[in-house]
A and B are shown apart, each in its own frame.
Chain A
Amino acid sequence: MRKLKRIGTYAFLGGAAFVSIFPFLWMVVSATNKSVDVTKGRLLPGNHLLDNFTKLAESTDLWTSLWNSARISVLTTILAIVIASLAGYGFEIFRSRAKDIVFNILLLSMMIPFAALMIPLYRMFANISGTVPAIGIDTMASVMLPTITTAFLIFFFRQNSKMFPKDMVEAGRIDGLSELGIFFKIFMPTMKTTYAAAGIITFMSSWNNYLWPLIVLQSPEQKTIPLLISNLGSGYSPDYGLIMLAIVIATLPTALVFFLMQKHFVAGMMGSVK
């Protein structure tokens, strides 16, 4: 009976695993086939990987786009977690009568969809282009600035800061550490898992960000990877092998970041639930 139950469990898990893994498998396999075979639904790996790669590297600015995406994502992630954790920590540790009101207003801002902000934001960046071109439209800064602080991330850090023992702050103060010192030397090392989780979330959303970069970036040399993939699928006769390979390449960094920090990620997410 127990054995039977086990078989059932494995069959169910196997089915679920298949459903979640198959698209990835299909993506990787298709990257090695030529377009006609992809549309025919060929499930076996082919020998067109190199062909697809050469074509992709020749017909698009693959390396430029990867580099753009990488520097935007890494910089955004670092800045975002430092700023949001400072804010989250501040909200939790320091006492002020206005802090809950400010925090609630901050949470309310999560309810405004990006589509509503897009046009005013674009207008703002377009206007600033004349005076400060470095942060105007079509620059890396214009992609990063609206995403550096998100209400969600501040909320995430505040929730997790609740687990941080306040006694340690007191101890730090007694031992003569400055407030920033307490944050950088005690809080940050203790909350490593939270930082890992926040880092992964921010990196992924920044790497995959599509709509805002699309709106604000103009020149080909600024393009990020999601924009490049969007272009590949736009023709009358798209090359599906090529598209699949581009998607594989675009997925690798996020997968890598996730697997490297997986252990911390799970712990960090658990922390915020507690």
Chain B
Amino acid sequence: MKKVLALFLSCMVLLAGCSSGGGGKEPAVSGGNSGGSDSGSKAEEITIWAWDPAFNIAALNIAKEAYSKKNPDAKINIVEFAQADIIQKLNTGLNSGTTKGLPNIVLIEDYRAQGFLQSYPDAFYDLSGTIRAEDFADYKIGPTSLDGKQYGVPFDSGVTGMYVRKDYIEQAGYTLDDLKNIDWKQYIEIGKVIKEKTGKDIITLDPNDLGIIRMMIQSGGSWYLAEDGKTPDLAGNAALKEAFELYKEMMEANVVKVNADWSQFIANINNGDVATVPTGNWITPSVKAEASQAGQWAILPIPKLPQTPNSVHATNLGGSSWYVMNIPGAETAADFLAETFGSDVEMYQNLLTNVGAIGTLKAAASGEAYSKPDDFFGGQQIVNDFAAWTAEIPKVNYGISTYAIEDILIVEMQNYLNGKSIDQVLSDAQAQAEAQVK
């Protein structure tokens, strides 16, 4: 027994020795490093992390090209990681307390931004002096700022639209005008008729993704969390209650084609299994992937909530923004963002034509590329429409834990569909959320 004890003690001493050694060394190492990279602030090398080669990375390449013209010395490394991988890497890096290996600029989804900004307050570089918040669509400022300081450069608009199969609704005896500016109640009624006449469902939904609930409540200026971004606002949230009721009504009306994941979601669209797809504008390339359906699609304003008084025909799903990390090179990184995504109107035209990215910089929300008709959608000027709807999206504070709360709601939604009362469902969800989100 004594020997075991002795062994453990010696292990402890050894471990303690190691850790103090490491701690002693650290300042010297990081000091040396920052000293080296301080020299020549403009010629610094910056690293950017983003996901999706066809979208964000492509946009970055255009920005890099535009920036390099003005600053030929700048060296910009664009590194592609999957979104989940970026979150994992950021969390590990920031938790370990070293700035090594972190990028200068990182793309973060708006729903997750406040979580990072509030958990690691010193890790991000304040851009208040570099860009002007009022230059961007209002609704983007909530997620990208904290305590009056602007940390993010708003990027793509997650503005939604209702993608409609013209041939199906005409078969059911409707015209496009009948579906324009409707509310979700009318939407379900139309869905029933379409189902009867054509046998097609009106929408495809994944029970594990409440994107449609998020779209519905944001159109009414409401969110899972109260305006402070910290207090769960589920029980007594009228818009959320209405959205839940509509969801159940939709399910019970038998007009929903259930999908299990993203690939099935896309498949249901491409196979022509559904008559409408209310979702973010980023779905456009996936819809167009089935070229044989050209001319059969149109995009209409998203339906609104019938009973929530301030609900509008515009809302958001997804979208992300750029953040500068507070590490050596931050000034160069901020300068890069300010000169490209922060102000370059011409570059946004380029982004739209070549990448299909709809930005949120107000000054860039017009121009030739925006009014270009799209033949796939029967010559509709889809970007003009999206840009107009972007300006109307109600501003909400996504807060720190959109996805944690959504996990709770996904389970409670199933309880609700199985017969639990709505008030009970929401107050149970509220209790769980309060216990979890602190």
Give me the interface of A with B, judged by CB distance under 8 Å.
Answer: 35-36, 38-41, 59, 98, 101, 105, 118-120, 122-124, 126-127, 129-131, 136-138, 211, 214-216, 218-220, 227, 230-231, 233-238, 240
Contacts and interface: CB of A to CB of B under 8 A. Distances in A.
B73 to A, nearest CB: 20
B82 A231 contact: yes
B82 A234 contact: yes
B52 interface: yes
Nearest to A130: B29
Contacts of A227: 81, 85
A35 B101 CA distance: 35
Nearest to B47: A218
Contact of A234 (B51, B93, B97, B270): B51
- Kindly list the 5 A-B residue pairs having the minimum CB-CB distance in the complex, ordered from nearest: A130-B29, A234-B82, A39-B267, A235-B52, A123-B96
B29 A122 contact: no
Interface of B: 3-4, 7, 22, 25-26, 28-30, 32-33, 47, 51-55, 77, 79-85, 88-89, 92-93, 95-98, 100-101, 262-264, 266-267, 270-271, 282-283, 285-286, 289-290
A98 B92 contact: no
A264 to B, nearest CB: 36
Chain B, interface SS category? helix
A64 to B, nearest CB: 13
B52 A129 contact: no
B290 A36 contact: yes
Contact of B79 (A59, A124, A211, A219): A219
A111 to B, nearest CB: 16
A242 to B, nearest CB: 11
A242 B25 CA distance: 46
21 contacts: A36-B290, A40-B270, A59-B53, A123-B98, A129-B29, A130-B30, A131-B25, A131-B29, A137-B100, A214-B81, A218-B79, A220-B79, A227-B81, A230-B81, A234-B85, A235-B52, A235-B54, A236-B52, A236-B286, A237-B266, A237-B285
Most buried by A among B3, B55, B81, B89: B81
A236 B285 contact: yes
B82 A40 contact: no
A212 B229 CA distance: 33
Most buried by A among B83, B93, B101, B264: B101
Contacts of A219: 77, 79
B51 A215 contact: no
Contacts of A233: 82
Nearest to A121: B96
Contacts of B85: 214, 227, 230-231, 234
B92 A118 contact: yes
A40 B292 CA distance: 14
A138 B51 contact: no
A129 B85 CA distance: 22
A39 B154 CA distance: 32
A137 B101 contact: yes
Given A214-B88, A234-B52, 6 more contacts: A40-B267, A119-B95, A124-B22, A131-B25, A214-B85, A220-B79
A122 B93 contact: yes
A65 to B, nearest CB: 12
A63 B314 CA distance: 45
B82 A237 contact: no
Contacts of B282: 236
A215 B97 CA distance: 14
A52 to B, nearest CB: 15
Contact of A127 (B4, B29, B54, B95): B29
B52 A215 contact: no
Nearest to A210: B85
Contact of B3 (A98, A137, A211): A98
B283 A236 contact: yes
Contacts of A127: 22, 25-26, 29, 98
B83 A234 contact: yes
Nearest to A38: B263
Contacts of B32: 130
Contacts of B283: 236-237
A236 B100 contact: no
Contacts of A101: 3-4, 7
A211 B82 CA distance: 13
